[in-house]
Chain A
Amino acid sequence: MGIDATAGVIRAEVSKTLRIYFAYPVIVVFWALFPMLWVVPFVFQGRALVGSASSAAFEQLTGSGNYLAFVLIGAMVSNFVFSGIWGVGNSLREETYWGTMEYIIVSPTNLLVVLVGKTLAEALVTTGIVVLQAVIISVLPFGISFTVAKVLPVLLLVGLLMVGFYGFTIAFAGFTLLIKEVHGWTHTLEWVFFLFSPIRYPVQVNPVTQLVSRLIPLTWALVAIRGIILLNRNEVSLGRTVLILLAMDAALLVGGWLVFRWLERKTRRDGTVAMH
């Protein structure tokens, strides 16, 4: 299959996924509002514990006392990660439920190309949602402002984060072909990320979480993004973070592809590839 045909498959997959996604318009409202509502209890909890919108102890750990902004940025960036796990990781499971998986496999298109289309569709939807969130956050008094000088490096970091992360979700998609269960594993992964990356709290509070967090690209991206938005420290850490994320992306993409290919072949050998 040539480049044109491959691009055609990706376009068709994106179009199909978005059409099905928007066949349930309420879900868009859910994904746009829920992550915001999810933050509110942490804000109230922080205020109850600290007594104000800023904390000296928090500032010692992160460089900024604005824990509210810290949590909001964590919520927005992690949105990409979690929707990726749900969207891409779950996508092949959805195809098995719809009964369409067999027809994708028997086509002359590599399943990985279809997954790239699914990933792109997911990234488009999530980007739309996060942009909407960013607009809401920037007009509300949370102490976060988005300028072009800040947005461009943040976009670069988010892009690099997602490339590697989608490598991981492609492996996870292969894993779902094997295990035939997604919800439990997705929730488990979510909590692993919550625990070992600085989404809700600075991982420096515990030496184990601090150590493990270094293996997760989300940690590097979040630290750099917060540095840019909250501390105006883009020049210092951006280059190093970009290099680290590039290395992690390469490992995750290659690893994800190999794991997926192995699991897809294994399930075809076991006769369970299209089962749900």
Chain B
Amino acid sequence: MITTSIARKVAMALSGLFLILFLGQHFTINVTSVFSEKTFNFLSHFMGNNPLVQFVLQPILIFGVVFHFVMGFVLELKNNKSRSSKYVSFKGAANASWVSRNMILSGIVVLSFLGLHFYDFWVPEMNYKYVEILPKDPDRYYGELVHKFHSPVRVGIYALSFVFLALHLYHGFASSFQSVGLNNKYTRGVKWLTSAFALGIPAGFIFIAIFHHLNG
């Protein structure tokens, strides 16, 4: 089934929608750190120790991330092969937005950021729980978060990465509805909502990083 162009397109859209769901959930938890240290610690401890989250949802998430970027690269390679003789003059901007034409670029930046993010948060967390097997401390999460945002360089990298995530989502979120066959009288409203999400959520993540940098 995944061998046809439409199947690949639908699979790309569904994995993207799944990652968007996760992003929304991630933001919801992170934003509590701005308002309540206690709530953030409680939610982080729950997510970090709940067996369903750790051993079912987390592997599914990792699979979703890997599938989305591997499929993205596969599609990019296939698409490049479909026109081996390039145009001397190609006015892409005349008929398509920059973001829609450069999803691979924004995707690579987001993927690089994910590498940094895993190094910053996921690897130490796995090390804490499963390698060194340190005692559970439900109050450690907020301090760890604030500590990470002491560095202005790290905050800058995070902010830049989220700008690229916004660009990626701006096309990708609305596009996924088209890919799964939804293009009707609600499409304009869907485009408005997905654009608001694409700009609002990354802006929120940038705000959280800057907030803790300034107040940490």
Query: Are A and B interaction partners?
Result: no
Q: What is the interface of chain A, defined by CB distance below 8 A to chain B?
A: none
